[in-house]
Structure 1
Amino acid sequence: MNLARHSISSISPIRVFDARFDPACEIFTAATPAGFAVYRTCPLELVRKRELTGGTLSMVVPLHTSSLLFLVGGGRSPLYPPNKVIFWDDILGTEVAELEFRERVRGVACRRGWLVVALRRRVVIFQLSVDEPQVRRHAEYDTCENLRGLAALATAPHSTLLAIPGRQMGHVQLIHLPPCAPPPPTPNRPAPPLKPPPAPNKRPVPMIIAHDSALTTLTVTLSGRLLATTSSRGTLVRVWDAYSGNKTRELRRGTDKADIYGVAFRPDERELCVWSDKGTVHIFALGANAANRQSSLSQLSQYLSLPKYLSSEWSYAQYRIPTQSAHISISSAGKQEGERVDEERCVVGWIEAESTAPLPSRPQSPGERAQNRRSSVSSTAAGREFQLVALTYTGGWYRLVLPKIVSLSGAGPGLASPPGRSTSMAGSPPRQHARSTSGSSNMSRPDKGKGKERDKEKETTDCTLVEFRRYGRWDGWA
């Protein structure tokens, strides 16, 4: 008789209907079949949870780090009608107000004192009272068909920008609301400067013709200075100056079509990341001396007319989210298509955390300090750095560290071996299975004499997974 100890666990994967960060990525919300919960982003900690019966939610939108949340029903058995936005006070544990529309709510965006509701062909803006939940209709704008519910708000103090789809496909409307009020001071957060930034010399443009095809994402920086757009083709990320309307950057995610889920700017606007259904998070630098990869033939562009592919900027770092294809396929057997977990789905945010690299033990010369500034694009103050947190819709929480040293003369995709995956991590993430690849990664066998050089290149172009944890059912609620 075999008396060995066996561990038995459920094969049913975690089902997260919605996961999203607050604007500063201090907290995030998660909606599951059991209800919703609020977590502290880093270190990961369950702040509070609400177990709801009678239906499910499709959106749980936090208003910064306050107790007010905006709920929208969804799924096969919605908890609330999908044409309503419910104001939920999590301290009181009850609904305090609601907005009802004649059609399904497609998207919700908010900031202090303002709420934006995206419908299929229009966007409605509401002004919220600070002291009590009073709502006043402010304005309404027509858009093209906006099934994704796109709307992006700048949330930094004194910012004004609201970006929504235009009336024509691929266009972006730029709307300027009254300045955003600064947050109240707390012991951990000093009061921001009360003096607003100087007004621009020219009147901001009201429209940007961003793409020829339909928009898939709209993202603005916290200050509202920059805007990022992607289209249904899923190959390019375009960055725009929100005041002049000029295109400042065109970044290539890959060559094959993809469904881009989101784009996130680093808080200091020096980098951005993009993620899609390919399961890979790409990181791009936006500085003057950006370390993004380019084809070695791009230097000939001033002499020859080269294809757009060869002159593109590619991500300088990336991370491939592991999957559990076999695990999910077994547990999904017998379920309808709409109930299956989307293992490629994730959302990514920027955080500022303690540096994982030791500080220098001796004073550095001016030349060394300048070289470190050029090579380390993720450093902030001494002992602090910007990192990434990725949330998967199967309940995975990944904390990623960006490469510290980035080659400024790397060859573009197809001309050099691709970056590999770093295996340094804390925890036990799911086993990685094969998945579809983007145009920026294809496997090639290393040649003799070049293995060490390519291993060095892999170390400098891949993000490092330093911590992996679970959220959702794994922390005690199903």
Structure 2
Amino acid sequence: MLCVLVFCVFKLYLCVSDHEQVGSVAQCSMLHRSNLLAVVGGGVNPKFSEISVLVWDDARVGRDPKDKLVLEFTFTKPVLAVRMRHDKIIIVLKNRIYVYSFPDNPDLSNTKPGTSSAPFTINAHQSEIACLALNQPGSVAASASRKGTLIRLFDTTTRDKLVELRRGTDPATLYCINFSHGSSFLCASTDKGTVHIFALKDTKLNRRSALARVGKVGPVIGQYVDSQWSLASFTVPAECACICAFGKNTSKNVNSVIAICVDGKFHKYVFTPDGN
């Protein structure tokens, strides 16, 4: 199954049949390789509202397209991103992250269309959220603002901030954030063509400012000094914009990160747990 946004038109291709909902959309996220899709309107000729997330079950039988709608989430501001797992759906607005729980039956085959409200919100950043990721168990959410200097990790159950990671001091656009399979590491790519790798399981591996050895400093400088910097980073050739993800580990002492760039090139880098 393949879900594609082509010229902002929502198309779903499944083996021998395909369905096309005429109209532009801004977001489309598939729940693994299933029949469930989360759709947000937008673009030149919006099919749906930009303030609503519609969960669409393409396996449902019905003459009216509305028969395939199983859940709807409506907000007061435009939805910027959507991510789904079998048990959770995360929806990102300008300054807030909403975390919802799916019903016990993930295929939602018996769920009637309706609206829901988030069990809680996470006040992640002061400026607009630009990038969001969820680890495989769904227990930790990582987010970055449009400023792009910090990545913050939150516990999705308690809403507590777990750690704050510093990408840099100058503004940058983050294109991608991803967790490793065991949530031991996190990678992030920027518009500068740089991919940063942070340690999560053992945060002592992350670099820190040399000023941290000075001792107690002022509150403003202290936020900078206490920051955790990436344990490793690499720049793709020609500093192209790219997305990144962790590859399959071939050894306990060797990890890999894969970067796919806008120029169509594929890069693979390996690193050891200590950042070499």
Same fold (TM over 0.5): yes
The corresponding residue for 1:409 is none
Bigger Cα displacement from structure 2, 246-255 vs 284-293:
284-293
CA contact (8 A) 2:231 2:274 kept: no
Cα offset, 1:399, TM superposition: 1.2
The corresponding residue for 1:86 is 11
Whether 1:98 and 2:20 are equivalent positions in the alignment is yes
CA contact (8 A) 1:123 1:143 kept: no
The corresponding residue for 2:164 is 250
Which of the residues 265, 268, 273 maps onto 1:396?
A: 265
**Which one-letter code corresponds to 1:172 in the other structure?**
I
The corresponding residue for 2:77 is 144
Q: What is the alpha-carbon distance in structure 2 between the residues aligned to residue 257 and residue 225 of structure 1? A: 28
Cα offset, 1:100, TM superposition: 4.3
Q: What is the alpha-carbon distance in structure 1 between the residues aligned to residue 167 and residue 89 of structure 2? A: 25
Which of the residues 129, 132, 136 maps onto 2:59?
A: 129
Q: What is the alpha-carbon distance in structure 1 between the residues aligned to residue 84 and residue 181 of structure 2? A: 14
Whether 1:304 and 2:226 are equivalent positions in the alignment is no
Distance 1:210 1:404, change over 3 A: closer
The 5 A counterparts of 1:69-468 are 69-74=2-7, 82=8, 84-89=9-14, 91-92=15-16, 95-101=17-23, 104-111=24-31, 112-119=34-41, 120-129=50-59, 135-142=68-75, 144-146=77-79, 149-154=80-85, 159-166=86-93, 169-179=94-104, 205-300=119-214, 303-306=216-219, 307=221, 308-323=223-238, 344-355=240-251, 379=252, 385-406=254-275, 460=276
Q: What is the alpha-carbon distance in structure 2 between the residues aligned to residue 288 and residue 151 of structure 1? A: 29
Q: Secondary structure at 1:116's aligned position in 2?
A: strand
Q: What is the alpha-carbon distance in structure 2 between the residues aligned to residue 265 and residue 299 of structure 1? A: 30
Cα offset, 1:214, TM superposition: 0.7
Higher relative contact order (CA 8 A, sep 6+): 1
TM-score, normalising length from structure 1?
0.48
Cα offset, 1:118, TM superposition: 2.3
Q: What is the alpha-carbon distance in structure 2 between the residues aligned to residue 171 and residue 126 of structure 1? A: 23
Q: What is the alpha-carbon distance in structure 2 between the residues aligned to residue 268 and residue 180 of structure 1? A: 25
Distance 1:349 1:270, change over 3 A: same
CA contact (8 A) 1:116 1:151 kept: yes
Distance 1:145 1:289, change over 3 A: closer
Q: Which has the larger radius of gyration?
A: 1
Q: What is the alpha-carbon distance in structure 1 between the residues aligned to residue 136 and residue 105 of structure 2? A: 11
CA contact (8 A) 1:153 1:163 kept: yes
More strand by share: 2
Q: What is the alpha-carbon distance in structure 2 between the residues aligned to residue 297 and residue 285 of structure 1? A: 21
Aligned length: 251
CA contact (8 A) 1:284 1:316 kept: yes
Q: Give per-residue Cα distances to partners, 1:87-113, cap 9 Å, x unaligned.
A: 112x42xx4223345xx3111111134
**Which one-letter code corresponds to 2:172 in the other structure?**
A
Q: What is the alpha-carbon distance in structure 2 between the residues aligned to residue 228 and residue 163 of structure 1? A: 11
TM-score, normalising length from structure 2?
0.81
Bigger Cα displacement from structure 2, 107-116 vs 119-128:
119-128
Q: What is the alpha-carbon distance in structure 2 between the residues aligned to residue 220 and residue 125 of structure 1? A: 19
Q: What is the alpha-carbon distance in structure 2 between the residues aligned to residue 309 and residue 85 of structure 1? A: 43
Q: What is the alpha-carbon distance in structure 2 between the residues aligned to residue 347 and residue 268 of structure 1? A: 20
CA contact (8 A) 1:387 1:402 kept: yes
CA contact (8 A) 2:165 2:227 kept: yes
CA contact (8 A) 2:30 2:38 kept: yes
Q: Give per-residue Cα distances to partners, 1:209-251, cap 9 Å, x unaligned.
A: 1111111011111221110111111100010001111110110
Distance 1:114 1:178, change over 3 A: farther
